[in-house]
Chains A and B, each alone.
Chain A
Amino acid sequence: MKRAMLLIGVWGAFAVMLLTGHAGAADDTDGAASLMTPPILLEYVNAEYPAQALEQNLQADVLAMLEIDAEGNVTAVDITQPAGHGFDEAATMAMQQFRFKPAMQNGEPISCLLEYRYRFVLKTETVETVTDAVNDTDSASDISNTAVAEENQGTAVLTGKVTDMDDRAIEDAIIYLSGQPGGAAESDASLELEARTRPDGGFELTAIPPGTYELTIQAPGYQIYYGGEQLISGELKEVSYRLVKETDEYEVVVRARRAPRSVTRREITAQEITKIPGTDGDALRAIQNMPGTARSAMGGGEIIVRGSSHADSGFYYDNMEAPWLYHFGGLTSVINSDLLENIDFYPGNFSVRFGRATGGVIDVKTRAPKSDRFHGYIDMDLWDTGILLEGPVSDNWSIAVSGRRSYIDAILSNIDFGDDFKMKAAPRYYDFQVIADYHPSEKNNLRLFFFGTDDKLVFLYDNTENPNFGGGDNVHLMAYQGQVAWSYRLSKKVSNQLDAGLGYWGGNNAYGKYEEKWNVMPIMLRDELQLKFSKTNELNVGVDFKAEYALIDMRVPGDYYVEGSPDFNASAHDNTVFIDGKRFALKPGMYAEYKNTMVPKTTLIAGLRTDYFGNVDRWSADPRFAARYELFKNTTLKTGVGLFHQAPDYAQGDEDYGNPNLELMQAVHTSFGVEQKLSENVELSVEGFYKHLDNVVTASDAPMIRDGQMDIERFDSDGEGRVYGMEALLKHNPTDRFFGWVSYTLMKSERRDAKGENWRVFDYDQRHVLTAVGTLTLGRGYSVGLRFRLVSGNPYTPVNGGIYDGDSDNYVPVYGQTNSARMPMFHQLDVRFDKKWQWTRLALTTYLDIKNVYNAKNPEFPVYSSDFSQKDWVTGLPIIPSVGVKLEY
């Protein structure tokens, strides 16, 4: 049997790793993972097939980690999966001669690591054309079979197979052949032929006049192949094409080589985000599937991290504090998910670069607008329609503009809610984002980011037959914010990241007889200097400044909701309070963090942060420590301990309304865990944690003098909390076929309103939280995903009957012990189907996202009859199918 040698270079798992020493947004996120443009192979070199292997008819794959510098040169080859028999040496010699277009981030070339699979296969007798995956047609060999079928006399036949780089057949790929037949007169029309691949990837084009043709191959999820074929009369040409999976920034995970500056960072890539069932492709809702987060009731947007309140966690857009994450607190993100580079979620023990939070941190990173050409899409679903336009405007500038507007108001306004209730002119939301990127040199990158969001909701209680029911509630929230980010690399050892932001956050709300109008103007400035003294010593120092100017005008109830309040206190409105005026608060912070990797396999991080909280006039100093130790090659131990502070919210510390003498809320985080890489794509992480909370704000009736008058302080800092538990995450990283994870959290979160009192459970104490997510790519542009959740029911305070208030003609509830009862366990299955059609430059994506497939009736909170003698449950949303269509250019 005659054999020929065939050498195929294969992109491996597309895992690209940043090298140390570069500047850029990804780096300043303490090594946080980010997405970027991967390196592109420009010059491929055939390896010499080892003689020994050839003699023994051996084939092999050699897996290597290539170190590619910012110029695209391969500076090191590390064989990670040797094959022996001379394969390793041959592959190394070839790969050392590769030339790449370097990986890019924010328009800046960066050094990186690339996992590369060099495949040695023996060619069979089949004659084929092999096309390299990166449009490197020059390197492809082209051997023709000159056998001619009689029926095709005078014409040619092009037949063959389309596969991916792992030789898996690609079905439904479209092959376009176009050009001028070589023998035809010039006036003849050009020829265009088309074929689709069969399930085995095979195709055939017959009766092709001789000539030179352009060839285009398109398949969903793969880069479009452009090439050419020269066909001669009577030729039967059998070819083989291998397509490269789309290597856009959504599909390449970039991981920091350096140890992260926090003990635990959960990462969600855009590829995962957009396909998680039950989220409608929304980025931030995906966070709620991570371990350590509690399930939000009614599908709302609260992010309860390791037993801390939603307000105790910090939320950032590109290093600047975000006003809020969601429209209506949970419907969908206020930032277009397609503009996000990645989201980093720190459930605890986070770096000193983050402050003013005692829970967790969510750091959302926007991406650079695409700069190769103009792109755009229109995206429609049941809730809203959005558009995105992006592309280069000059050699150094690229820009992205996105907007979205809901139309659920048009739907809900026409629904009959009954005689007593109408929803007027609401809910509606819109948002927009503009990102402009300027990258004049490798060392500089400037990003301008401006966004706005506007939510309005009006409930109108109106009955034309009975004027009994009148009035309404309305909420109008708006935020506009401009940000500037400048990253500058002075040298390989010194770089700087400067961020500044100016916002306007406003609210105009009315609830019955109460009203509140507020306008907050935050000014934020952050600068971090990164100094790398040596390969094992690094220092990051930074300032984190925030000033807030607020105008408020409020008529609000004297009572205030705090954690632990029972559900029913509508009848407990205290004396109406009027507050108006101006407020100004300075919140400067400074931090320094030292990282040392001198001890082999060990990373030690020590940091100190100090903050001033102007609204309560208090200082804090937070030392934090984290360590990682590589116990074995794929096993890492990690631990951390640190102190965290945050101020009470503005109402609680306001001198006219709350208690200006409140202490800073304080938390001590401790954690210990292990990360185990089980295989190339599967990782297991287990972590235990304990968190102690002090100075938790609780309600108080103690008297105080306010404006010379006796009043109550309303709040004190006597509360205490403790949270302990463990998290486990078994994750299959995204590949061509599958991604998914199973997360489980076992946790207990408790509070008490004063030391010495009995502990009670926290409002969102969810003892068990199990989430399983998986998405499988089926081929032909189809994919299917499942999400299943099994979560302990939330605690609630039981009501043991009611007492008739003869004064107001209402009933008041008789409560049991706070949070002494628990709702039934929550369980729900969500399913998602995706289908993508790809044409030359157009792509059409549709999805069907079915929430609560088996229509589980999950209690969300109890509801009682007017005299509290009967109880029922408000259940979560029933089965809801949601569809979306996205047309991309």
Chain B
Amino acid sequence: MRNGTFENNKRNIRLFFDENPPAHFAGIPKAQNAVTPAKAGVQNAADLHHFVDSRLRGNDVFSPSETLSFGKGGCCTDSPFLKGARGIFDMASQTAGMAAVLLCTLSLILTGCFDFESNHMVTKFKVLAVQAEPPEIAPGEGFEMEVLYADPAGNGREVSFAWFMCINALSPAAPLRPEIGLGACIPAQSPVVETAANDGHIFVADETPVDLMSLYPDGLLNQPGGVPVDAQIVYVTAVVVACAGGQLPGPARLEAEMAIVKNPANWCEGGDGFATYKVIRVTPPTNPRPNENPLFEKVQVQARTMAPLAAVNMADNTSGVFQCPRTGKCELKLSLEAHLTPESLQTYHTKSPDGFALIDEVLYVTWYTTGGEMAYDRSIAASPSSPYENKWLVKAPGDYTLWAVAHDVRGGVSWESFQIRIIEN
């Protein structure tokens, strides 16, 4: 069903807290720390927690090495040698790392790069985004989770979901960097398994199960700008396993397998599985700058404002139809622009050598499509008032789905989907 148009898919999940804090927070023997921070990555489901922790606190979305991993040279800067080079005043490693990066880059120049499918291409079952609304909560608040997924080759097959959550905290009152498995951090209940038939089911958190604020280090809550985003914080992790055309185990078996299954995506038997997680920060109710999801103002293709997919039928969607040139091959290079509302750009506190600094949020837009080639997987704006631009080369007539997903670096997410039709002239 490549190049086809299909419905926007999303799942709504409402999470809630248990009354009692997990006993596992009382202390974790070191022997259980099977995965060290330096061995980052996920070796089993238990490691997922570590990534959640590091991703949230690192907020290194735009580190060059990550940025490069979408382009040439990524392999070089992600090489183990550069990791060694990142050691502080380890001169031997630094110099060795430089050589590896340099020679690797030279090798790529001479041998070419890799024929990987771009991140923006959606050709198989894939989760494109996960939204928590709100993305930052106060104790006692609930939130709603929504999953954006695409299954272009699935022919409408059933998609089911398993979800569960953890509470994570870093403070003297709690174990530091608890390398606990997902199974260890389930707060209240067994995992929940849903299918698309249950669309709309909502879970509500009515009360705060534990005095989460007590987990914060002294003084951290008194920052005038709120809890710094990269400080030791308390947060909730929600994990979602999506399964298209397959069968997820029941809650009891899931709970048993959480700590031993290497990739939760493998829980989907007989279908295509996809594992993802989402972090929701927990900050005091008095936080003056709680994070909010960014919002689209409009998305334009060739300067035409597109109507969201959910709002139109293709038959009426004249703004989404583009004609190929009269002569030559039917190819179109379309300019894409996403505009976010001014309120989407917030400020927040981060650590600095002098303590904490108030900085502007970084927003970016990730693009997905069912066909054609994007110039970039992601776009950021040249200035706060500038649009988020991209180029899209469509090489054949047909119907395409286009997604634009807005992100901030604190977990805020929103998206819009569009149908685009390319016709011959």
Interface residues of chain A, those whose CB is within 8 Å of chain B, are 296-302, 310-311, 323-324, 326, 328-331, 412, 415, 417-421, 423, 427, 455, 457, 459, 461, 465-473, 475, 477, 505, 507, 509, 511-514, 516, 518, 520, 550, 552, 554-562, 564-576, 578-580, 649-651, 654, 657, 698-703, 709-712, 714, 753, 763, 797, 799-801, 803-810, 812-818, 857, 860-861, 863-867, 870, 872, 874-878, 880
- Chain A contacts for B8, CB-based, 8 A: none
Judge whether B376 is part of the interface by a CB distance below 8 angstroms.
yes
Tell me whether A803 and B51 are in contact in the complex, defined as CB-CB below 8 angstroms, given that A300-B99, A311-B90 are known contacts: yes
Distance, CA A815 to CA B51, complexed state (A): 12
Cβ–Cβ < 8 Å partners of A699 in chain B: 36-39
Complex: A473 Cα to B114 Cα, angstroms: 22
Q: From the candidates A300, A505, A564, name the one contacting B103 in the complex (CB within 8 A).
A: A300
Known: A507-B89, A699-B36, A870-B116. A420 touches B67 (CB 8 A): yes
Whether A814 and B102, one on each chain, are in contact in the complex, defined by CB atoms closer than 8 angstroms, is no
Assess whether B72 is in contact with A417, with CB atoms less than 8 Å apart.
Answer: yes
User: What is the CA–CA distance of A316 and B100 in the complex, to the nearest angstrom?
Assistant: 23
For the complex formed, measure the closest distance between the CB of A374 and the CB atoms of chain B, giving whole angstroms: 34
- Knowing A300-B81, A512-B65, A565-B39, say if A324 contacts B87 (CB, 8 Å): no
Residues of A within 8 A of B52 (CB): 805, 807
Within 8 A of A (CB), among B250-280: 262-265, 274-279
Q: Identify which of residues 84-99 in chain B touch chain A, using a CB-to-CB cut-off of 8 Å.
A: 84-99
User: Which of chain B's residues 167-193 have a Cβ closer than 8 Å to chain A?
Assistant: 171-172, 175-177, 179
Closest 9 CB pairs of A and B: A572-B40, A806-B130, A330-B99, A329-B99, A329-B95, A420-B71, A699-B36, A863-B75, A569-B40
- Known contacts A302-B96, A569-B40; is-contact A471 B66 (Cβ 8 Å): no
Is B64 touching A472 in the complex (CB atoms < 8 A)?
yes
Chain B 376-425 residues near chain A, CB threshold 8 A: 376-382, 389-390, 405, 407, 409, 411, 413
Nearest chain A CB to B27 CB, angstrom units? 10
Task: Give every chain B residue within 8 A of A470 (Cβ-Cβ).
Answer: 62
**Which residue of B111, B172, B353, B381 is within 8 Å of A578 (Cβ)?**
B353
Q: Which residues of A contact B36 (CB under 8 A)?
A: 562, 698-701, 753
In the assembled complex, how far is the CB of residue A416 from the closest CB belonging to chain B, in whole angstroms?
9
Q: A310-B92, A807-B56 are in contact. List 18 more A-B contacts (CB 8 A).
A: A299-B99, A459-B77, A467-B380, A469-B67, A470-B62, A477-B95, A562-B38, A565-B38, A566-B41, A569-B39, A578-B353, A579-B88, A651-B89, A709-B217, A804-B275, A865-B114, A865-B119, A866-B69
Pick the interface stretch among B12-20, B42-50, B298-306, B323-331: B42-50
Task: Please give, as numbers and ranges, the residues of chain B lying within 8 Å of A471 by CB-CB distance.
Answer: 62-64, 67
Q: For residues 135 through 156 of chain B, which have their beta carbon under 8 Å from a beta carbon of chain A?
A: none
Query: Would you call B42 and A561 a contact (CB within 8 A)?
Result: no
Residues of B within 8 A of A552 (CB): 88-89
* Cα distance A517–B328 in the bound complex, in angstroms: 57
Q: Does B106 lie at the interface of the complex (its beta carbon under 8 Å from any beta carbon of A)? A: yes
A-contacting residues of B (Cβ < 8 Å)?
Answer: 30, 33, 36-43, 47-48, 50-52, 54-81, 83-111, 114-117, 119, 126-127, 129-130, 171-172, 175-177, 179, 217, 230-232, 240, 262-265, 274-279, 351, 353, 364, 366, 375-382, 389-390, 405, 407, 409, 411, 413
Give the complex CA separation of A578 and B91 in angstroms: 19
B116 in contact with A872 (CB, 8 Å): yes
CA distance A467 to B171 in the complex (A): 37
Q: Which secondary structure dominates where chain B touches chain A? A: mixed
Which residues in A have their C-beta under 8 angstroms from that of B86? 511, 514, 556-557, 560-561
Contacts A561-B38, A571-B40, A815-B41 given; does A328 touch B99 at CB 8 Å: yes
The complex places the Cα of A812 from the Cα of B141 at a distance, in Å, of 29
With A419-B71, A467-B382, A803-B51: A567-B172 Cβ-Cβ less than 8 Å? no
B91 to chain A, nearest CB (A): 6
A803 and B98 contact, CB distance less than 8 A:
no
Hey, which chain A residues are within 8 Å of B75, CB to CB? 861, 863, 874
**A805-B94 contact in complex given A514-B86, A566-B39, A865-B117, C-beta closer than 8 Å:** no
A713 to chain B minimum Cβ distance, whole angstroms, is 10
Report yes or no: B172 in contact with A421, Cβ–Cβ below 8 A. Answer: no
Asked if B40 contacts A559 (CB within 8 A), the reply is yes
Given A297-B100, A814-B263: A560 and B62 within 8 A (CB)? no
- Tell me how far the C-beta of B117 lies from the nearest C-beta in chain A, rounded to whole angstroms: 6
User: Is the CB–CB distance between A461 and B96 below 8 Å?
Assistant: no
Which residues of chain B have C-beta atoms less than 8 A from A809's C-beta?
Answer: 61, 129, 366, 378, 405, 407, 413
Partner of B413, one of A297, A459, A556, A806: A806
Contact of A427 among B78, B80, B102, B390 (CB under 8 A): B102
Contact of B48 among A323, A710, A803 (CB under 8 A): A803
Which A residues are CB-close (under 8 A) to B88?
Answer: 516, 518, 552, 554, 556, 560, 579, 650-651, 654, 657
Give, as a whole number of angstroms, the nearest-CB distance from B108 to chain A. Answer: 7
Known: A298-B100, A300-B96, A809-B129. A701 touches B411 (CB 8 A): no
Establish whether residues A814 and B43, one from each chain, have CB atoms under 8 Å apart when the complex forms: yes
Residue pair A570, B96 in contact (C-beta under 8 Å) = no
Query: Which residue of the partner chain B has the closest CB to A457?
Result: B98
CB neighbours (8 Å) of A301 from chain B are 95-96, 99
Chain B residue nearest in CB terms to A559? B37
Bound: A722/B115 CA distance, A: 40
Nearest Cβ on chain A to B366's Cβ, whole angstroms: 6
A427-B106 Cα distance, complex, nearest whole Å: 12
B61 contacts which chain A residues (CB < 8 A)?
808-810
Q: Contact at B230–A575, with CB atoms within 8 Å?
A: yes
Q: Are A806 and B67 in contact (CB under 8 A)?
A: no
A277 to B: closest C-beta gap in Å: 18
What are 5 of the A-B contact pairs (CB < 8 Å)?
Answer: A573-B63, A575-B230, A575-B231, A809-B129, A863-B74
Q: What separation, in Å, do the CA atoms of A682 and B121 have in the docked complex?
A: 62
A310 to B106, Cβ gap below 8 A? no
CB distance from B312 to the nearest CB of A (A): 27
User: Does the CB pair A465–B60 fall under 8 Å?
Assistant: no
Distance in Å from the Cβ of B65 to the closest Cβ of chain A? Answer: 5
Interface pair A512/B74, CB less than 8 Å apart:
no
Which of B94, B176, B366 is the one whose CB lies under 8 Å from A712? Answer: B176
Interchain CA distance A810-B129 in the complex, whole Å: 10
- Find A455's partner among B39, B40, B98 (CB 8 Å cutoff): B98
Q: Report the minimal beta-carbon distance from B25 to chain A, rounded to whole angstroms.
A: 14
Give the complex CA separation of A471 and B107 in angstroms.
23
Interchain CB contact under 8 A, A570 and B42: no
Identify the closest chain B residue to A417 (Cβ): B72
* A580 CB contacts on chain B under 8 angstroms: 353
Which residues does chain A contribute within 8 Å of B264, judged by CB atoms?
Answer: 803
Which chain B residues border A472 with CB–CB below 8 Å?
A: 64
In the complex, chain A residues whose CB is within 8 Å of the CB of B47: 815
CA distance A700 to B50 in the complex (A): 13
Partner of B277, one of A554, A703, A803, A874: A803
A583 smallest CB distance to B (angstroms): 9
Give A555 to B354 CA distance when docked, in angstroms.
12
Nearest CB in chain B to that of A711: its residue: B176
The answer to whether B100 touches A572, judged by C-beta atoms less than 8 angstroms apart, is no
* Contact with B114, one of A468, A573, A860, A872 (Cβ below 8 angstroms): A872
Interface centre among A296, A475, A863 (most CB of B within 10 A): A863
Q: Once the chains bind, are B41 and A323 in contact (CB under 8 Å)?
A: no
Tell which of A412, A520, A813, A818 has the most Cβ of chain B within 10 Å: A813
